[in-house]
Amino acid sequence: MLYKTFRHWTGSKAAELTWEHCVSRGRMPEVRHSPHGLEYMTGKIMKGIAGFYYVHVEGRGVYECKAKGIFRKEGIKPLVGDDVEMDVLDETEMLGNIREILPRKSALLRPAVANVDQALILFAIVKPNPNFNLLDRFLIRMEQQELPTMICFNKEDIASQEEKEALRRAYETCGYRVLFISVLENRGLDQVRELLAGKTTALAGPSGVGKSSLINQLSPETHMETGEISEKIKRGRHTTRHSEIIVLGDSAYIMDTPGFTSLEMPEITKEELGGYYPEFREHEPLCKFRGCAHISEPDCGVKEAVEEGKISRVRYENYMALYRELKEKKRY
């Protein structure tokens, strides 16, 4: 019987798995050989720092790689989230060289990441109370990037039913999927796992709402995957925080994206702002004036919908605040 072993990071240590065992669990990476005799395989870039890329290969672990000079000559920059082919330079030290970037399904500019399928915005219902203005800024950013987005409210174990229903009404009417979970009590996490399975998800949200706790609950392997990358980076390169991907299993990846946590408004004009509020669309044809800003104009379909309870008053008040902010920004 062929009995080849290699490392797979799981739990709290690197385990030796047999070739046969990995094939049976669907973890076996396809290993090929280049004309020069080097092994090469397909992986996903988890993190990139100062010209070094950390590529995760299912069944093997994380390789520290450089990119071939041809990418620089052609003006191509590997991005976190890219699926790549890499040559294995040293199996013991887990070193490689990126030889090809596979076709991208998508590429975001801010932050610069590739192959993101969806976004998950995490806020707490209470402790801290949600900052709805900040939540709307996140949603505008996702709308701008055309990312399907789910809103997840944590700490439902200490929230009232009335608080949950108010949040559900406010955001489901906008077309967003709204989830309520308790990371502490492990409630609702199976539903989250189902929604993340087979996808690369960008995670956004303010500090203190349980992002790290959620990731740790979703996959017990998380500590080891991130620890492995951190151990390599510790060799004295850089500590600047960048986007990085964490493996959750079931071909699911979650992307910690500091670029999505900024309070700064995206580069849009006040005239464009209403287009990022999906719930306005069905009421805008009822506005008397074309190009209605939904602020002070008479006979405004959006304002009437707010009065009738069809549009969340909180959302509308945030819209007005952001409109004024963009108006002032243009002035200066």
Domains 5-103 and 113-260 share a fold: no
How do residues 245-274 score in pLDDT, each as one tens digit? 888 876 788 987 665 655 667 678 999 999
Pseudo-torsion of CA 293, 295, 300, 304, nearest 10°?
130
3-class secondary structure, 99: strand
In sequence order, the β-bridge partners of residue 66 are 97
Pairwise pLDDT comparison (148 vs 224), residue with the higher score:
148
Structural domain spans, the chain? 5-103, 113-260, 270-331
- The structure tokens 């990139």 sit at 48
- CATH numeric code, 5-103: 2.40.50.140
Ramachandran angles phi, psi of 250, nearest 5°:
55, 35
Share of the chain above pLDDT 70, in %: 77
d(CA 199, CA 87): 25
What mean pLDDT is predicted for residues 231-239?
43
For position 261, what pLDDT does the model report? 58
For position 177, what pLDDT does the model report? 95
For position 212, what pLDDT does the model report? 83
What mean pLDDT is predicted for residues 300-305?
97
For position 33, what pLDDT does the model report? 54
Quick check: 190 pLDDT over 60?
A: yes
Long-range contacts of 30-37 (CB under 8 A, 24+ apart): 34/87, 34/99
d(CA 207, CA 263): 12
Helix axis angle, 132-144 to 313-331, nearest 10°? 70
- CATH numeric code, 113-260: 3.40.50.300
For position 25, what pLDDT does the model report? 41
What mean pLDDT is predicted for residues 79-94?
92
Q: Which residues, 6 or more positions from 187, have their beta carbon under 8 angstroms from its beta carbon? A: 156, 157, 181
Quick check: 236 pLDDT over 50?
A: no
Q: How many residues does the chain have?
A: 332
What is the maximal distance between C-alpha atoms in the chain?
Answer: 81
d(CA 116, CA 118): 6
Question: Comparing C-alpha atoms, which of 193, 89, 213 is closest to residue 150?
Answer: 193
For position 37, what pLDDT does the model report? 52
- CATH numeric code, 270-331: 1.10.40.50
Q: What angle do CA 197, 78, 214 make, to 5 degrees?
A: 30
What mean pLDDT is predicted for residues 185-204?
92
3-class secondary structure, 33: strand
How do residues 316-328 score in pLDDT, each as one tens digit? 999 999 999 999 8
Quick check: 132 pLDDT over 70?
A: yes
What mean pLDDT is predicted for residues 25-30?
48
For position 23, what pLDDT does the model report? 36
Contact 141, 266 (CB under 8 A): yes
Sign of CA dihedral 124, 125, 131, 134: positive
Tokens of 260: 């999505």
Residue 294: CB atoms within 10 A of its CB come to 23
Q: Which residues, 6 or more positions from 226, have their beta carbon under 8 angstroms from its beta carbon? A: 244, 246
Q: Name the pLDDT band for 20 (thresholds 50, 70, 90).
A: very low
For position 275, what pLDDT does the model report? 94
For position 15, what pLDDT does the model report? 36
Quick check: 78 pLDDT over 60?
A: yes
Mean per-residue pLDDT over the chain, rounded: 81
Half-sphere exposure of 100 (CA within 13 A, CB side): 7
Which of 38-47, 189-198, 225-234: highest mean pLDDT? 189-198
d(CA 281, CA 295): 15
Quick check: 9 pLDDT over 80?
A: no
Tokens of 1: 């019987």
Quick check: 103 pLDDT over 90?
A: yes
For position 259, what pLDDT does the model report? 55
For position 106, what pLDDT does the model report? 85
